[in-house]
């Protein structure tokens, strides 16, 4: 089973839910945790993993031999991402736009395009709290994080419960993390901003046909519009985490709720049972 924990924006408590859920259910099931927030992964602050291995993630970038190139423009026509342009006699390759699909090389009639690897980032793997842990790290200055997320998801062991900490927002990286999940847990807060971004996240999850559950974090600071929205859209609210000074202190120290407050271990186990039943 794959559970993706996501949110429409950063700072809602997505990683809090993902890490506590992983620790709580690892008592009963073999767990694999994937921190797919590759631009700014922070699950390690709470899980404190022992990193044992690291591997590079690359994409292939086109390189044009200007002596062989006839400036026919077939490569530019074929590229869906406008990563190649021909202006007069000049061939321009925009590496940040390139998705490394290799189509330009395939359509070149004179074989003027070759490819060379370019590192996007790394994937680190290890163990935390007795279960498998992996995180992606996008290199500074890189614009494309989805290849790292796809590579990480390709490492999922089907015999384990995979908990995926998705990137915040509703862009391509978030879609990549949610796609093919058995269930999405969307973390929000009871504020106008929380509702707005929850609605966007619901749209993403529904676009890839993934069942949705909602966790309301910092419950008590706002109004009931989020709950009313969930009721209207027939989206179950599976858990509420109160707005609490004690919880905020634990978070600031990198301590999980389930380690510090035993009653939360049962609550997160109950959260898993709720979403597991809804995913069937």
Confidence of residue 159 (pLDDT cuts 50, 70, 90): very high
**Ranges of each domain in the chain:** 2-57+120-278, 66-111
pLDDT tens per residue, range 8-41: 888 899 999 999 999 999 999 999 999 999 999 9
- Domain pair 2-57+120-278 / 66-111, same fold: no
pLDDT tens per residue, range 202-221: 999 999 999 999 999 999 99
Residue 280 has what pLDDT? 58
CATH class belonging to 2-57+120-278:
alpha beta
Averaged pLDDT of the chain:
95
**Which residues are registered as beta bridge partners of 186?**
6, 214
**Confidence check: pLDDT of 278 > 80:** no
CATH dotted code for 66-111? 3.30.70.20
Closest to 43 measured CA to CA, from 168, 214, 165: 165
pLDDT tens per residue, range 214-263: 999 999 998 999 999 999 999 999 999 999 999 999 999 999 999 999 99
What is the layout of strands, in order, in the sheet containing 237-242? 50-64, 113-128, 131-138, 31-35, 161-165, 2-6, 183-188, 212-219, 237-242
Closest to 53 measured CA to CA, from 143, 122, 117, 154: 122
Query: How far apart, in whole angstroms, are the C-alpha atoms of residue 196 and residue 212?
Result: 16
Q: Determine the distance from the C-alpha atom of residue 217 to the mean position of all C-alpha atoms in its chain, rounded to a whole number.
A: 19
pLDDT tens per residue, range 66-90: 999 999 999 999 999 999 999 998 9
pTM as predicted = 0.92
Which whole-number Å values give the CA distances from 86 to 75, 82, 145, in the listed order?
A: 9, 11, 27
């Amino acid at each position: 089973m794959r559970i993706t924990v996501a949110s429409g924006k950063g700072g809602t408590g997505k990683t809090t839910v993902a890490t506590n859920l992983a620790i709580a259910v690892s008592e009963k099931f073999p767990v694999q945790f994937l921190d797919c927030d590759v631009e700014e992964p922070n699950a390690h602050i709470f899980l404190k993993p022992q990193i044992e291995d690291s591997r590079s993630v690359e994409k292939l970038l086109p390189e044009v031999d200007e002596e062989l190139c006839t400036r026919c423009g077939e490569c530019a026509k074929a590229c869906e991402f406008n990563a190649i342009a021909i202006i007069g006699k000049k061939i321009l390759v925009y590496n940040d736009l390139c998705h490394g699909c290799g189509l330009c090389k395939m359509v070149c009639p004179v074989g003027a395009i070759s490819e060379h690897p370019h590192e996007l980032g790394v994937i680190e793997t290890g163990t935390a709290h007795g279960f498998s842990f992996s995180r992606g790290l996008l290199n500074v200055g890189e614009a494309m994080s989805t290849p790292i997320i796809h590579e990480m998801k390709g490492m999922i062991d089907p015999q384990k419960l995979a908990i995926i900490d998705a990137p915040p927002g509703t862009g391509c990286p978030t879609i990549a993390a949610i796609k093919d999940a058995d269930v999405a847990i969307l973390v929000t807060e009871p504020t106008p901003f929380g509702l707005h971004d929850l609605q966007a996240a619901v749209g993403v999850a529904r676009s890839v046909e993934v069942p949705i559950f909602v966790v309301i974090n910092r419950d008590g600071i706002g109004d009931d519009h989020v709950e009313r929205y969930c009721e209207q859209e027939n989206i179950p609210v599976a858990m509420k985490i109160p707005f609490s000074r004690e919880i905020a202190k634990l978070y600031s120290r990198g301590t999980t709720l389930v380690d510090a407050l035993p009653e939360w271990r049962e609550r997160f186990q109950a959260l898993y049972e709720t979403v597991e039943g809804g995913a069937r």
